[in-house]
Amino acid sequence: MQTDVRSVRAPEESARAFVYRVLSTYIKEMFLHPGEKLAETDVAAELQVSRTPVHDTFSRLEREKMLRPVPRGAVVPPLNTDMIRQTVWMHRTVSQAVLGELYNHRPTTLEPLEHCVAAELEALQGGAIIKMARLHLEFHRTLYSLAGREPVIDVLERNSGDLYRLLRMMESADLWRYVAEQHSAVVQGLAMRDYEMAAHALEAEFDLVKPLLEECRYQRPYFFE
């Protein structure tokens, strides 16, 4: 495990919170690949903390299914294809309901969503593909927030770890530009009170996941179970 700026501990951050933040981020962002093994002693030495917060973090990540216990450590689990498909179905279904709420109870401003799209386009222009999965997540969180449904997206995100890791594997700028275009169409549809336009754009975005999953499973079968 090689550390970088994300591994810098904030002055007010407890050792346990620090270790959890680093490991969960590394797993979600695919800096730690599926199948990679971690040992508590190595992580403690790398992050310059005692073994106790590392042990506690391993236990927490195992409960959250981001690590699997193995003798003398833990391993980053492979992506579960069935879970990804189920997660996409949940997002697709609930997002349509959220769009309906935004259509019936139009928010006072769509600027937060517009800022999300602008951030995506800026990242693409700068070649920062690595940011796109996180910006994609921020767009959907903002969409739910405008509808007052933060608790719903909280639940969805807790079950979306493998979907997020899959999106981190999408390295095509053209595909991410297509996603940004669909997000822009969602905003435009909401602004014009055109539910069908917004709903179609979200459907088009979710439709990308199936071919992406198939391509990634073909290119890196050892990342999946």
Q: In the listed set 75, 95, 113, which residue is the last one of a domain according to the structure?
A: 75
Residues 161 and 99 in one domain: yes
Q: What sign for the dihedral angle of Cα 176, 177, 180, 181?
A: negative
Does 216 lie in the same domain as 197?
yes
This prediction has a pTM of 0.91
According to the model, what pLDDT value does residue 5 have? 42
Q: What are phi and psi of 41, to 5 degrees?
A: -65, -40
Percent of the chain with pLDDT over 70: 97
Long-range contacts of 140-147 (CB under 8 A, 24+ apart): 140/91, 140/95, 142/112, 142/113, 142/116, 143/95, 143/98, 143/99, 143/102, 143/113, 143/186, 144/98, 145/112, 146/102, 146/107, 146/110, 146/112, 146/113, 147/98, 147/101, 147/102, 147/105, 147/107
Domain count within the chain:
2
Same domain, 106 and 174: yes
User: CA 145 to CA 147: how far, in whole Å?
Assistant: 5
Residues 165 and 66 in one domain: no
Q: Are residues 202 and 182 in the same domain?
A: yes
Among the candidates 44, 75, 106, a domain finishes at: 75
What CATH number has the domain bearing residue 136? 1.20.120.530
Task: State CA 81 to chain mean position distance.
Answer: 15
Residue 4: what pLDDT? 55
pLDDT digits (tens, 9 = 90+) for 134-192: 999 999 999 999 999 999 999 999 889 999 999 999 999 999 999 999 999 999 999 99
CA distances from 108 to 112, 184, 214 (A): 11, 18, 40
174 and 98 together in one domain: yes
Domain limits at 10? 5-75
Q: What integer best gives the mean pLDDT of the chain? A: 94
Question: pLDDT confidence of 83, banded at 50, 70, 90?
Answer: very high
On the 0-12 / 13-18 / 19+ scale of CB atoms within 10 A, 21 is middle
Same domain, 71 and 85: no
Q: Report pLDDT for 3.
A: 52
